[in-house]
Amino acid sequence: MAASDGQIAEAVLGLLARRPPGATICPSEAARALAPQDWRALMPRVRAVAATLALAGRLQILQGGRPVAAQGPWRGPIRLGRLQPGDGQP
């Protein structure tokens, strides 16, 4: 079964909701939760859904602990985090 964008968003936001404030997740955590055997193939879609969620103000994308623009492009590993009061997107 292929995960829909809605299922990906739900997985990402659900993982973040279970973490303490300020904690982040790796996009691969959502991919692994949805497709344990084929999670790598899901990664581009997880990153795309994360960008959509960031543009909608639902989360932030970080690299090296710093927020990066939701629309990318990103090179290398990213982390996803909840927006904290006072956080703004770059």
Pairing of strands 66-67, 79-81: unpaired
Q: What is the pTM of this model?
A: 0.89
What was the pLDDT predicted at 74? Answer: 85
Predicted pLDDT at 68: 94
pLDDT at 87: 57
Strands 24-25, 79-81: pairing kind? antiparallel
Q: Where are the domains of the chain?
A: 5-81
Contact 51, 45 (CB under 8 A): no
Q: Return the pLDDT at 2.
A: 83
DSSP conformation letters of 46-83? HHHHHHHHHHTTS-EEEETTEE--TT----S--EEEPP
pLDDT tens, the chain, 90 aa long: 589 999 999 999 999 999 998 999 999 999 999 999 999 999 999 999 999 999 999 999 999 999 999 988 888 899 999 987 665 544
Encoded tokens for 90: 């770059």
Chain-centroid distance of CA 50 in Å reads: 4
CATH of domain 5-81: 1.10.10.10
